[in-house]
Amino acid sequence: MANDYFIHLDNIIPKGSRATAAQVNNIADEIAVGLDKLPTESELKQGELNYSTDTGIANAYVITLGYVPTLTDGLKVAVKVTNANTGSCTLDVNATGEKALKHADGVDLAEGDLVDGQIFESRYDGTEYRIIAKESSAAGIKTLYESNSDTNEYTDAEETKLAGIETAATADQTAAEIKTAYESNTDTNEYTDAEKTKVGTVETDANNYSHPSHTGDVTSSGDGAQTITNNAVTLPKMADMATASFLGRLTAGTGDPQVLSAASARSILNIENGSTADQTNAEIRAAVEAATDSNVFTNADHTKLDKIYHGRMIAGSLTVHGGSGFTAAIGATTLEITHNFGTQNYSVQMTLDSISLPGVSLIAMIVPVKDTVGDKFEVYIIDESGNDITTSTGSPAVAFNFTLMVD
């Protein structure tokens, strides 16, 4: 046994057999499921079974009822519109398919037949839905009324205009009658053609004012021309200026004065920002030190530089004037010469460049010498056998650079 509300196939109890509790409970559950499909008492009383709000778009209306109806001739549904129509329409109920929605006489809907918030009832005739009743808003009634032949809108303006027409007023008074009636009013006179022509020559906004002549800071003449007297405008009468600004002109060409900033004024005068005419020596020294990769060359630096000597060995020997008693430390490519004499300390750092002879080890040697010039020392380059290679041929065999510093 089965219908839309109850399906009893799996729990059939054979006739004459004993039913188990499980079978009885299953049948009860199936009955409960079937009863759940029935509308509630409230729904029955309020007629909500076939009512739903549109969820579609304009001209294509869609509703979903609490149950899935069968499209049969005479099916009745009520729809609350959420989109006004702009032409012919369709209606789809519970996804049973779009069907044409028309007036009761089968005529397609026209723009404005359905408005937002309106509720209409329709019946399915087996092919399409026909509207059998609908709420009418004021706008809808107005549209329906004016759609009748020889029926027009009667506006508030027209009502006001009609109210201003006297009872028994006529439209057949002659011009002379109207003129006489008009001029019979108090303080109402004839307005002749000549007077109309005269008024036509008067300028718009003209009056009977005679412009006087003025003198003083502002002069004027009878034609209305006004001129400011020279030197009449004082500084308080001019436009306000910002603090630390000037009156001048930066824009190219002749023109109105402009309020200039300090930067604009410096641009005109070609002066750098912060420039002064009274910088002290200390300020100049500080500015030099503040520059990137720039330092002050002090007196101490100058004295130290005076003690540095540079030269190139091109003769048979190198002579440095100073005290006697120098000592030498010979490295692979350098010769360091030092001497302590009283409070003075002499040091010589000599770098030998490009000194090489095939198969010969070279040594730099220092020789203290006394002569009429004073204490001095001579530097020689000798080989491992003690031969002086700088003087053996009367001219240096090699050349080298040296640096000498005396502390």
Tens-place pLDDT, residues 368-395: 444 444 344 455 555 555 555 443 322 3
| In-domain check, residue 120 | yes
Confidence of residue 123 (pLDDT cuts 50, 70, 90): very high
Who has greater pLDDT, 60 or 72?
60
The string of DSSP codes covering 159-194 is HHHHHTSPTT--S---HHHHHHHHHTSTT-----HH
Which one, of 61, 62, 106, lies nearest residue 84 by Cα?
61
Query: At residue 320, does pLDDT exceed 50?
Result: no
* 19-33, 119-133, 237-251, 367-381: least confidently modelled range: 367-381
Who has greater pLDDT, 114 or 376?
114
Q: Report the distance separating Cα 92 and Cα 101, nearest Å.
A: 9
Query: At residue 228, does pLDDT exceed 60?
Result: yes
Who has greater pLDDT, 406 or 315?
406
Structure tokens at 31: 């009955």
Q: Report the distance separating Cα 122 and Cα 99, nearest Å.
A: 12
The string of DSSP codes covering 211-229 is PPPB-SSEEE-TT--EEEP
Percent of all residues in the chain with a pLDDT value above 90, rounded to a whole number: 16
Confidence of residue 404 (pLDDT cuts 50, 70, 90): very low
| In-domain check, residue 207 | no
| In-domain check, residue 9 | no
Query: At residue 319, does pLDDT exceed 90?
Result: no
Position 95 scores a pLDDT of 94
| In-domain check, residue 71 | yes
Which one, of 237, 239, 217, lies nearest residue 228 by Cα?
217
Buried b / exposed e along 336-373 (16+ C-beta atoms within 10 A): ebebeeeeeebebebebeebeeeeeebebebeeeeeee
333: left (phi over 0), alpha (psi -120 to 50) or beta: alpha
Query: At residue 96, does pLDDT exceed 90?
Result: yes
Query: At residue 17, does pLDDT exceed 60?
Result: yes
Confidence of residue 59 (pLDDT cuts 50, 70, 90): very high
Position 386 scores a pLDDT of 57
Position 399 scores a pLDDT of 42
| In-domain check, residue 227 | no
Confidence of residue 146 (pLDDT cuts 50, 70, 90): confident
Position 301 scores a pLDDT of 76
| In-domain check, residue 57 | yes
Q: Which of 130, 146, 162 is the last residue of a domain?
A: 146
Phi and psi torsions of 109, nearest 5°: -70, 145
Query: At residue 321, does pLDDT exceed 50?
Result: no
| In-domain check, residue 262 | no
Domain around 342: 299-406
Q: Which of 100, 130, 146 is the last residue of a domain?
A: 146
Position 303 scores a pLDDT of 67
Position 191 scores a pLDDT of 86
Q: Average pLDDT of 65-76?
A: 88
Query: At residue 262, does pLDDT exceed 80?
Result: yes
Query: At residue 296, does pLDDT exceed 70?
Result: yes
Position 317 scores a pLDDT of 35
Query: At residue 89, does pLDDT exceed 80?
Result: yes
One-letter amino acid for residue 250 of the chain: L
Q: Average pLDDT of 271-277?
A: 71
Q: Which of 81, 115, 146 is the last residue of a domain?
A: 146
Domain total in the chain: 2
Who has greater pLDDT, 98 or 366?
98
* 74-88, 128-142, 196-210, 308-322: least confidently modelled range: 308-322
Phi and psi torsions of 287, nearest 5°: -65, -40
| In-domain check, residue 76 | yes
Query: At residue 254, does pLDDT exceed 60?
Result: yes
Q: Average pLDDT of 303-326?
A: 42
